[in-house]
Amino acid sequence: MTSREIRQAFLDFFKSKGHQIVPSAPVVVKNDPTLMFTNAGMNQFKDLFLGEAPIKFPRVADTQRCLRVSGKHNDLEEVGIDTYHHTLFEMLGNWSFGDYFKKEAIAWAWELLTEVYKLDKDRLYVTIFEGDASEGLDRDMEAFDFWKQWIAEDRILLGNKKDNFWEMGETGPCGPCSEIHFDMRSADERAQVAGQSLVNADHPQVIEIWNLVFMQFNRLKDGSLQSLPAKHVDTGMGFERLVRCIQGKTSNYDTDVFTPTIGFIADKSGIKYGLDEKTDIAMRVVSDHIRAVSFAIADGQLPSNNKAGYVIRRILRRAVRYAYTFLGFKTPFIHELVPVLAAQFSGVFDELIQQQDFVQKVILEEEVSFLRTLSTGVQRFENYVEDNSVINGDFAFELYDTYGFPIDLTELLAREKGLSVDMEGFKQALQVQKDRSRAATAIDTGDWILVNEDEGFEFVGYDTLTAKTEIVKYRKV
């Protein structure tokens, strides 16, 4: 099956089980102070779970684009190094709002994976919550009993509170979850460790694909748990990981989700993928990061110098530096990947194809501006590390301030040399600059300003005047 077919089969399957298929929410979250980017399928349904919005459809399914680059879920450092954590990924999900519960959620997950996708049953594991005596929480025997109908008992593993008990926050709906893992190890390797139980943390070829959360409690302010009158199901399955399992690959980047971009990068750089770990990582990083940056921009978050905008700028600069150092791209290149992505996502997330020119232009401008200082910065760095074994705060700040190196990029460069960065020193230097600039002039603007986003302005859309000129609109907030 192609990735397109796999995605569609998920939606069709849940549609046939009475689910309403809904669109993905934007990846950029503008009206929730607790969240910068959508990081899970359930985000857009938060108010339903909290009982603060009416339930239109008791059963819903979708594919949600998610970004895990900040806050509680930050996978950025794994990306490209491992082969299954992305910055932006699609989370396939099905929900029950006070409708079906564990029995159906488990039976359907199993049916979809083994009958529609025909995944090898002997490669599937599931986990259930082991319980927590200190909270008076029982082992989730209900889930265990439902799983037992489908899968051998020795493939049902116990999981602890960290992995198998989901909470929305300090208070609110929560409950045990069951995760589904897929084992891609070779037959030989599996025979050697037969009988040993494991989940993904133990082996890079045994990966978590789907998390089924059963919301059955409400955590109150005093920390106690109350049984919910209406119980909910919230599931999330990593689309790129699912495709990898179905297509029998050992890396998400070998599936048709990534081969178009990896192929494009390989072509343009003249470097083959799969020959050298360093250039492979760089290709994976670039083909991952372009997705995050493109959708962030299409969803209204431009790269900028603060907050969410800076998160996006950092990701893009990270990609530019990987392309520059390891793939030999000394001139802007990354923006050329936008049309490849836009075509791939047509009919899925049309936001990208609709704004392709704009997204491309923003990325190109970013590339041009960063490449202006990158080579000098990298040279400065190389000279510095010849004589120093720690990157001191002032130097890290110089790289940041003069050459536009986000601090995590400096940390990455340092890590590649086996060095560390004096973060405290960097923060102090940054603080001194902040204090200085706070005293500086306030910018006088009307209701609308052009292009450069600044703190206190909210992106509300853009107009295309001609093919070459866009006006980016911001409203003062």
Footprint of Mg ion (CB under 5 A): 208, 211
Q: How far is the CB of 41 from Mg ion (least distance, A)?
A: 12
Least distance between ligand ATP and beta carbon 96 (Å): 17
Q: Within 341-400, which residues bind ligand ATP (CB under 6 A)?
A: none
What 3-state DSSP class applies to 150?
coil
Q: Which of 26, 173, 176, 238 binds ligand ATP (CB under 6 A)?
A: 238
| Alpha-carbon dihedral angle through residues 391, 392, 397, 402, given to the nearest 10 degrees | -60
> Please, which of residues 173-202 interact with ligand ATP by CB under 6 A?
200
Using rule CB under 6 A, residue 65 touches ligand ATP? no
| Residue 89 near ligand ATP by CB under 6 A | yes
Q: By C-beta, is 284 or 335 nearer to ligand ATP?
A: 284
Residue with nearest beta carbon to Mg ion? 211
Q: CB of 167: closest distance to ligand ATP in angstroms?
A: 12
Query: Is 240 near ligand ATP (CB under 6 A)?
Result: yes
How far apart are alpha carbons 185 and 270 in whole angstroms?
Answer: 32
Return the one option of ligand ATP, Mg ion, none that residue 292 interacts with (CB less than 5 to 8 A, by type): none
- Find, among 295, 282, 211, the residue nearest to 253 by Cα: 282
- Which listed residue (3, 24, 211, 269) binds ligand ATP by CB under 6 A? 211
Give buried/exposed letters for 283-321 (b at 16+ CB in 10 A, else e). Answer: bbbbbbbbbbbbbbbbbbbbbbeeebbebbbbbbbbbbb
Report the partner that residue 104 touches, choosing among Mg ion, ligand ATP, none (CB closer than 5 to 8 A by kind): none
Candidates 19, 59, 155, 241; binder of ligand ATP (CB under 6 A) is: 241
Among 46, 86, 155, 317, binds ligand ATP (CB under 6 A): 86
Beta-carbon contacts of residue 311 (< 8 Å; ≥ 6 apart): 36, 37, 69, 70
d(CA 363, CA 459): 17
Alpha-carbon distance values, 407 to 94, 288, 293, 303, 403 (Å): 38, 20, 18, 16, 11
> Closest CB to Mg ion among 187 and 201?
201
- Nearest to residue 391, comparing CAs of 412, 361, 365, 368? 412
C-alpha distances (whole Å) from 187 to each of 123, 155, 191, 316 are 10, 17, 6, 40
Determine if 244 is a binding residue for ligand ATP (CB under 6 A): no
Nearer to ligand ATP, 42 or 48 (CB): 42
- The correct pick among 140, 183, 208, 367 for binding ligand ATP (CB under 6 A) is 208
Location of structure tokens 């399992």 = 245
Closer residue to Mg ion in complex, CB, 40/413? 40
Structure tokens at 420: 């560390």
Specify whether the CB–CB gap between 206 and 200 falls below 8 A. Answer: yes
List interacting residues with ligand ATP (CB under 6 A): 40, 68, 75, 85-86, 89, 91, 200, 208-211, 236-238, 240-241
